[in-house]
Every structure is written in structure tokens, then in C-alpha cells.
Amino acid sequence: MVSHRRLAAPGFDRGANAALCFMSAAAAALGAVPATAAPQDDTRAKVDRLYEEAEKATEAYNKADERADRLREQVSRSQDRIARQQDSINSMRDTLGSLAGAQYRSGGIDPSLVLLLSDDPADYLDKAARIARITAHQAGQLKDLQDAMRVLAQERAEATRKLTELEKSRKAVVAHKRTVEHKLAHARRLLNSLTAADRAAYDRASRSGRDDMQAFFGSAVPASGRAAAAVAAAQSALGRPYIWGANGPSGFDCSGLIQWSYAQAGVSLPRTSQGQRYAGRQIPLSEAQPGDVVTYRNDASHVGMYMGNGQVIHAPYPGAPVRYDPVGMIPGATVTRV
């Protein structure tokens, strides 16, 4: 959810604390809709709430989808191990079967009778000793077979459990997807009920067209080389559409933009905004530098990237492209240095 105000003027990097406090207070004040608000204002407030709810559902969808992907990989690895273990067991069974057949063919007469009938008792005793060694070896192989079969049974039970979890996760993905689609459709209907002027006011012009970016962001520099690379990647995504559940490169949801931007810098971040909040070291908002991850709300259901001069780049909501907005657009920002 975003408050619909003009962007902050340049100059954030001097007196940052005062500017941030002002923006946060203003955002908090604008978040309340007076009881006497005009119908158009009330409609915009409802759209804001729907977008916020849809964003939370989107992050839940991303989390469930990420879990489903992880479970698919685990199930695939388990199935590979099961296949290899089954081949090993089959080979062990064949070896034991051959030994058993040979013993049956050569050991059909009672050993004491063989000794009595033998012309060379010493030769018999030597053969018996060899048979005893073979039998001991066979017993060891039989134990190995039993152990392997027990491990195989455990692997199969674990694979079955993970398949059950995967099905539950898949259903959760579908449920979250429906929730998002329902809320976004409702928001679109409400937006379509606004006048053209109010729709234009709601869909503020993006700041993606500035040429004097150095002046816009002042003297702020990224905290590291990888942060600088992530900033460059995020800037390259300016103007691309918000697509829920997407992580680039043609479109993004809020956490998808941050994950993709850092991936271009060679850094693997979690898929969800909640995971991204804890993907590094927490720092005060007053110490934010370009490339820092900024999450919003208690549940971290929205995320952007700090760019300097009190601005973040983010994927706001459906219909609004990746753009710059004031870091105080939503109260309660938390900053993470990756």
C-alpha cells in the first residue's frame, strides 16, 4: 500500500533524520480517512486496502511456491536415491542367490557322511573350512542386504511424506493465487468507478524519466560493490510492469524486484519480502545507503531498495510500473544491509 503524495525534493542526505520523521508522520496522517471523506476518497482508501491485502497474499503465494519448489527438488533427489538403492539391492540378491545355489548343489549330502566316505579326510576338512568362510561372508552379505532394505523402506516412507507435503503446498499456492486475483479484480472495479481525474491522481506519474539522477540522489554511495551492482540492476528495471508472483526480468512483484536485482550482483536472496528482511544486518533508517533493503509493515509484506536522498525503488502495485517513491511512503520501515 502506498500513500499518494508528491515525491520528496532533493536534499535528503543533509538532515536525513528530520526529513524521514516528517515523511513518516505525514504518511501516517494521510493513512487515516476522515469520517466526512468524499466518496472518491473512500474509494481510493478501499483500493489501498485491497492492494495491501493482495500484496500480503502475494507474499504468502511466493512463500508457498518457494516451498513447493524446494519439496519438488527433495522428492526428486529421494527418488534418485531410491532407484540407486534398489539397483544395489537387486545386485546383492543376485549374488546371494548364486551362492545359495552353489551350496545347494555341493552340499546336499550330510557333512559327516561325506567325511566317512572321503578318501582324503584332510582334503575334506580344507574344503569345509573354505565353505565356512564362504558361509560367514554370505551371512555378512545377508546383513548388508537387510540393512539396505531397511534404509530403502525409510527413504520410500520419507518420499511419500514429502509428496503429501508437496500436494498440500501446491493447494496452498492455488488458494493464495485465487485470493490475490479476487482482491485485484475488486480493486480494478473500484478504480474503474473513479473519475478520470481521480484515477490519474491515484496512478501518480513515475519518476523513472529523470536524466539528472546524480543530482536527484545527491552524494549517497552504496555500502559495497555488490550493493552498487544491485542498484544498477534495479535502475535498469525502471518502468517495467508490476506482475504479481513475478521475479523478472520482464515484470516484478515487490520482492521479485529485490531478489532479481541482487541476483544480478551475484547474491542469492530469499524469494519473499519476509525472508529478505532477515537476509543481512539490521541498521537504523537514518544510516541507510543505496542498495539497502527496506521492508514495510510489521509483517514485512512490502519491500523496496533504498537509492539515496530519501527515495526507494520498488514495484508498487498492479498498474504502476517499477519506480521511485519516498522511503517514508509507508510508516514503519525496516532497513537491512545485505
How many structural domains is the chain composed of? 2
Q: Give the residue numbers annotated as catalytic, written as ranges.
A: 254, 302, 314
Domain final residue, candidates 192, 226, 252: 192
pLDDT tens, position by position, 112-129: 444 444 555 566 556 555
Domain final residue, candidates 134, 163, 192: 192
Query: What mean pLDDT, rounded, does the chain reach?
Result: 75
pLDDT tens, position by position, 133-166: 556 666 666 677 777 778 778 888 887 887 787 7
Structural domain contains residue 22: no
**Number of H-type helices and E-type strands within the chain:** 9, 6
Dihedral sign for Cα atoms in the order 233, 239, 242, 246: negative
The answer to whether 323 and 314 have CB atoms below 8 angstroms apart is yes
Residues 6+ apart with CB under 8 A from 199: 191
The rounded distance, in Å, linking the Cα atoms of 304 and 230 is: 12
Q: Which residues pair with 336 in a beta bridge?
A: 282, 293
Q: List the domain range (segments joined by +) for residue 151.
A: 73-192
Clarify whether residues 127 and 168 are in a common domain.
yes
Clarify whether residues 77 and 105 are in a common domain.
yes
The answer to whether 242 and 253 have CB atoms below 8 angstroms apart is yes
Structural domain contains residue 49: no
The rounded distance, in Å, linking the Cα atoms of 34 and 321 is: 29
Tell me the C-alpha to C-alpha distance, in Å, between residue 100 and each of 96, 142, 216: 6, 11, 84
Q: From first to last of the 338 residues of the chain, give the pLDDT tens digit.
A: 443 333 333 333 434 343 333 333 333 333 343 444 456 778 878 887 888 887 787 887 888 777 777 878 888 887 888 888 787 777 777 776 665 555 555 555 455 444 444 555 566 556 555 555 556 666 666 677 777 778 778 888 887 887 787 788 778 778 877 887 888 888 888 888 888 887 777 765 444 444 444 445 566 889 899 999 999 999 999 999 999 889 999 999 999 999 999 999 999 999 999 999 999 999 999 999 999 999 999 989 999 999 999 999 999 988 789 999 999 988 889 999 99
CATH number at residue 323: 3.90.1720.10
Closest CA to 307 of 209, 199, 243, 232: 232
**What is the C-alpha R_g of the chain?**
33
Clarify whether residues 144 and 250 are in a common domain.
no
